[in-house]
Copies of this chain bind each other. A is one copy, B any other.
Amino acid sequence: MLLVAGVDVGGTNIEVGLVDDGHTVRERAKHDTPAQSPHKIVSTIVKLIEGLDGVPSAIGIGIPGVVHNGRVLEAPNLAGWDESFDIVGEIRHRFGVPVALGNDANVGLLGEWVAGAAVGADDVLGVWMGTGIGGGLILDGRPFVGSRGSAGEIGHVVIRAGGALCTCGRRGCIEAYAGRRSMEAAVTKMVAAGRHTSLFEIQQQEEKSTLTSKVWARALDEGDELAVELFDAAVEAVAVGIGSAINLVDVQLVVIGGGMAEKLGQDLVDRIERAARPWILHPSPKLKFVVAALGDDSGIVGAASIGRARLLDV
């Protein structure tokens, strides 16, 4: 039984798991993501892995950034990264085992593909609905990352050029309507303009520092008018963008994951599917929309799977 460490570096937490041949997470550990430097992130990863009971034969890491040939080319949500920092070399040097690196959203879809909702599908679009909107692609039976490792950015497919301001500075991306950060900004603006909502009260009751997926889920459940209105727009934006994506890459499976999908489940997926179908030019009779099956673990399992694949290379 080979154990592989899967490392999921997020903007908030670093999660590490020891994953077995059956893609089961045997043990896990978690720590806040240090904000100072890539070196601090490396030392946190090292400590988390050292704290695990088993010894990994390989390590895979998913990171929120553009990853190409084992290097992080851009990581706007992590402090101090540039192409010169060799995270793979640093971790490999520390543990003496093969280390693989991938983009977090791509790696998350990989987790679903090897052990979750996308097992056996040759052409898959993954859409992660959280603070932002991330994504990944499996095409022709293999993970697809594009010519420079930045494929899968479904959140920045434009659905209304010149429309709502996105976190990326452009106007009209899916993320501008459906990313939690954008949605919270819209709520704040609308409240300042005199609209009423229970969203911030729910946030306080839940003791959250932002409008989390749980807060949104409760507000929707309680029929909060503003929450319903913004969420309808979010569903429509995601649906139009998925329609565009399917017209371009003709996948047979759409996996919806992330915090929003975890809280709202197949209901959310069904709503997105109903809204997306009218935008698809040649809908395949086999096309399915499903909710991610591994939840938070998709990142760890996917990261472990790229580490495991590295064992075959050496």
Contacts and interface: CB of A to CB of B under 8 A. Distances in A.
Interface string A46-82: 0000000000000000000010000001100000000
A117 to B, nearest CB: 16
A10 to B, nearest CB: 19
Contact of A153 (B74, B140, B247): B247
Interface string A248-261: 11111000000000
B249 A144 contact: yes
Contacts of A131: none
Interface stretch (A190-198, A219-227, A277-285, A299-307): A277-285
A143 to B, nearest CB: 10
Interface string A222-247: 00000000000000110011011101
Interface string A145-168: 111111111101111111000001
A161 B252 contact: no
Contacts of A296: none
A135 B249 CA distance: 11
Nearest to A250: B146
A67 to B, nearest CB: 11
Given A139-B139, A160-B160, A282-B74, A151 B236 contact: no
A160 B137 CA distance: 24
Contact of A244 (B142, B150, B244): B244
13 contacts: A66-B282, A148-B252, A148-B286, A149-B250, A150-B282, A153-B247, A153-B282, A154-B248, A156-B244, A157-B157, A158-B241, A159-B159, A160-B162
